[in-house]
Structure 1
Amino acid sequence: MSTQNALLTILVEKINNDTLVLPTLPAIALKVRKAADDPNINLIKMADVIGQDPSLSARMIKISNSAYLGREIKVTSTSQAVTRIGLIQVKNIATALAMEQLFVSKNVVVKKYMAQKWMDIISIVGNAMATMTIYQKANKDKSLSIDTMTLTALVADIGALPVLTEAERHDNVFANPTFLDVAIDKLAGRIGASIMREWKFNEVFIECAEHWRDLDYVKPEISYIDFVRVGAALAKLSDNHDEVLANAQAKGVFSDIEELRTPEFEELRDNAKGLFV
C-alpha cells in the first residue's frame, strides 16, 4: 500500500472510530467567546478580557483602525477598540485571530503548507465578505449577518487541519500536494463538522463546514454557504469554479459576474483580508 493510501486509510479509520485528534480552540478565544455570551457583559469588561492577551489586544487596536472600518479618528486603547468594533464582531475576530495559531508546525515543509492553507482561507474570507457587502447593498437584505458570515468562512475549511496534522507524521506525502488536496476534499467536511460540534458552534457553522464543498447540497434560500462557495471560486480554490459562480448568479447572490471584478469589489476584498493579515 502506498504511503498516500495508507494515510487515507488511517484517517478514515480514525474518523469512523471517533479517535481522530481534533484541534482545540486557543484559551483566549474561549475566554472572549464565553464573555461575549454573558448577558451581563459590557464593553469595559470585554476590554479587560482582551487585555489579558497583549498580542490580541494589539491586533484589535490595529483592526479598529483598519480601512475596513473606514474611520478617520484613530483609537489607541483596547477599550476604544472594543467600543468601535462591537461585542459580536470582537467575539468573531478573537476567534479568527486565535485560529491562525492552529496553522503552525515545527516541520519546515508542513509549516509552509499550513501557512499557504491559512492564506487560502483568508482569500476565501475576503472574497466572501466583499460579495456579501455588494449583495446586501443591492438587495437591502439584512437577514444574514456579515459578522456571522465572516466567521463561517474562516472555519469552513477547519477540517483540513487534522488531515495536515496527521500527514505531518508521514511528511513525505507533502511531496505530493495533489494527494493532500484530494484527502482534504474527501474528508475535511466530516472532520470540520465534528470540530464545530466539539467547539460548541451552532448549526450554521456545522452545516457550512460539512457541506460547502458538496455542490449537490443546495438550500433554496440564499445562505452563508453560497458566499463561502463564491469566495472559494473567486480565489480559484474550488473545483468547477465557473459552475459555482454560474449557480450563484442564477440564485441571485449577484446579478452580473462583472460586479465581482470592479475596483469597488477589489477594495472591499482587500480591506476585508487586511483584518487578518
Structure 2
Amino acid sequence: MTVRENVDLRQLRAFHPLNRLSDDQLVVLINRAERRVSRPGQKILERGARDGMDFFLLKGAVELTAGDGRQTTVTAGSEQAMNAIARLQPRMFDVTAVQPCQFLVIEQSVLNNLLRSAPLEHSDDKAGEDMDTDEDHRLLMEFYAELKSNQVSLPSMPDVAWKVRRLADREDSSVEDIGKAITADPAMSAKLVRACNSALYRGYSEVRNVHDAVVRLGGRTTRQLVTVFAMREVFRSRHPELQKAMDELWREARTVGALAYVLAESATRVAPEEALLAGLLHNIGAVPVLVHAEHHPALLASPAELRRAMAELQSDIGAAILETWRFPDTFVEAARHGDDWFYECAKDKPQLVDLVIVSRLHARISADQNEGLPEFEQVPAYRRLGALELSASRSLKLLSAARERLDQLQDLLSPR
C-alpha cells in the first residue's frame, strides 16, 4: 500500500542517502513510495534479480544469504540497516524475513532524481560532513545515482590470468598446457621466470624458461602468481590525474598483499600466495569508481569527495567483481569485509579476510594514518590469528623481523 503520513520523517533521516534530502523532497519520496509488510519466512529479494527498487527496513529483521551459503542477520535500526537492503543489482543476496517486517520501497530512478537536486545542507547534517560547494554536492549525487543504477562497468580479468586460472583448475591440464598459455604473453613469461629465480622461490639451479618455472612452482602457486602479476594492468586509467589515484591504490594493495603474505607464512595454514593475492585485491572495488569518474571531470577537482566515494563503494563493488571473476568465496569475503575492523568470520580457522584486516591495520600504522584506528585487542581478526598470539608490540616486532621478506615481495611486485 502507499505510504503517506504513516512514516516519520525523522525515521527516514536515519537512512543513507535519504538523509541528504530536504523535508519537501522526503514528502515527495513518501508519496511515491510503497510500504510493504512481510511475515517471517517470506522471501523478500532473490539473488541475481534486477528489480530497480530500493528496500529500506523500517521494522523487523531479515537474513541475507550469499551464494556461498554465508548468512547475515540485519535488524531494523542497526548500523547495517542504515542503507537499502542488498542494494547492489543484480542482487548479491537472497533476503528472507526472520521477524515481521516493514519496508519502505522506492524506485531507484525516483530516488536518483531526488538526489540529483538535493540541497547542500539541512539541519540534521553532522558538522563537517557537507560538501564545500553546491557543485561538488550535485556531482557526487549524480555519481552515486549512476553507480546505483548500474551505469558502471566492472573490469574484466586480464586474459592471461583467466586462461591460466581455468587451466590450473582442470584436472586434465598438463604443465605444457599452462606453460603455453603463459608464453603467449612475453611480459608475463618474464615476470614468472624472474619470480621463480627470486629469493622467495629460488632452487638449486636457475630457471630459464616458463615450463621449468611451472614445474618448480606447481600449478596452484603458478595460478596465483600469474593473477598477482596481471592485476597491475587492472589499475589503469587514461586520465593522468586518475592514474595517480590508481597508482596510489596499487601501492596500497601491494603493501597489504606483502603484509598478508608474511602473516600467512608466519602462523597460518593459508597459502601465502593466496594471502598475497587477497591483499592485492582488497581495494579492487575502487577501480570502477575511478574509471567512472572519468565521465565527471569536475569531480576530479574534489579529491576528498572522490576518496569518500571509493571508501563507501569499494567493498560491495569489489565483492561483485570477484564473484563475476568466479573467485573462491574466501576471496569474495576478504573483499567485502576487509575494511571492517570489527568483522568476525564464522569459520573456526583463520581465513583470508582475517589476514587482510590485520594487514590493512598494519599498513595504516606504517603510513602514520592512525586516526580512527581501533585498539588491537578490539579487532576480532587479531584474536583469530591465535598461533601468533598477537598484540600491538608482538605484531610490529614480527613484521620488523620479516623486513627482508617484505622487501623481496615489494620488489617482486614492482614494475619491470
Same fold (TM over 0.5): yes
What 5-or-longer segments of structure 1 have no aligned partner? 137-141
Alignment match of 1:170 (pick from 296, 310, 313): 296
Give the superposition deviation at 1:274: 2.6
Summarize the Cα distance change of 1:68–1:224 in structure 2 as closer, same or farther, 3 Å threshold.
same
Summarize the Cα distance change of 1:252–1:94 in structure 2 as closer, same or farther, 3 Å threshold.
closer
Contact map agreement 1:230 1:244 (CA 8 A) in 2: no
Deviations along 1:135-161, whole A, 9 cap, x unmatched? 23xxxxx2x222322222221111000
Bigger Cα Rg: 2
The structure that is strand-richer by fraction is: 2
The structure that is helix-richer by fraction is: 1
User: Is 2:157 aligned against 1:31?
Assistant: no
Report which stretch shifted further, 78-87 or 237-246. Answer: 237-246
Aligned length: 271
Which runs of structure 2 are paired with 1:71-220 in the superposition (5 Å)?
71-136=203-268, 142=269, 144-220=270-346
SS at match of 1:101: helix
Instruction: Tell me what 2:363 maps to.
Output: 235
Contact map agreement 2:258 2:279 (CA 8 A) in 1: no
Report which stretch shifted further, 90-99 or 168-177. Answer: 168-177
Instruction: Tell me what 1:19 maps to.
Output: 151
Aligned mates of 1:134, 1:249 — CA distance in 2: 14
Deviations along 1:159-200, whole A, 9 cap, x unmatched? 000111112222443444332222111110111111112112
Instruction: Tell me what 1:273 maps to.
Output: 410
Looking at both structures, which has the greater relative contact order when contacts are Cα pairs under 8 Å and sequence separation is at least 6? 1
Contact map agreement 2:354 2:385 (CA 8 A) in 1: no
SS at match of 1:215: coil
Instruction: Tell me what 1:9 maps to.
Output: 141
Instruction: Tell me what 2:193 maps to.
Output: 61
Percent identity, please: 26
Deviations along 1:19-44, whole A, 9 cap, x unmatched? 32111112111111111122111212
Give the superposition deviation at 1:48: 1.2
Give the superposition deviation at 1:14: 3.4
Report which stretch shifted further, 244-253 or 167-176. Answer: 244-253
Deviations along 1:117-140, whole A, 9 cap, x unmatched? 11110000011111121223xxxx
Aligned mates of 1:83, 1:176 — CA distance in 2: 49
What TM-score, normalized to structure 1?
Answer: 0.88
Give the superposition deviation at 1:75: 0.8
User: Is 2:180 aligned against 1:52?
Assistant: no
RMSD value over aligned CA atoms? 2.3
Paired residue type of 2:166 = K
SS at match of 1:275: helix
Contact map agreement 1:130 1:272 (CA 8 A) in 2: no
What TM-score, normalized to structure 2?
Answer: 0.60
Alignment match of 1:225 (pick from 350, 353, 372): 353
Contact map agreement 2:354 2:384 (CA 8 A) in 1: no
Aligned mates of 2:336, 2:262 — CA distance in 1: 23
Give the superposition deviation at 1:245: 7.0
Give the superposition deviation at 1:259: 4.3
Paired residue type of 1:88 = R
Summarize the Cα distance change of 1:6–1:103 in structure 2 as closer, same or farther, 3 Å threshold.
farther
Paired residue type of 1:122 = R
Summarize the Cα distance change of 1:134–1:12 in structure 2 as closer, same or farther, 3 Å threshold.
same
Give the superposition deviation at 1:16: 3.1
Instruction: Tell me what 1:139 maps to.
Output: none
Aligned mates of 1:10, 1:197 — CA distance in 2: 26
Summarize the Cα distance change of 1:38–1:215 in structure 2 as closer, same or farther, 3 Å threshold.
same
Contact map agreement 1:125 1:273 (CA 8 A) in 2: no
Give the superposition deviation at 1:246: 5.4
Contact map agreement 1:131 1:265 (CA 8 A) in 2: no
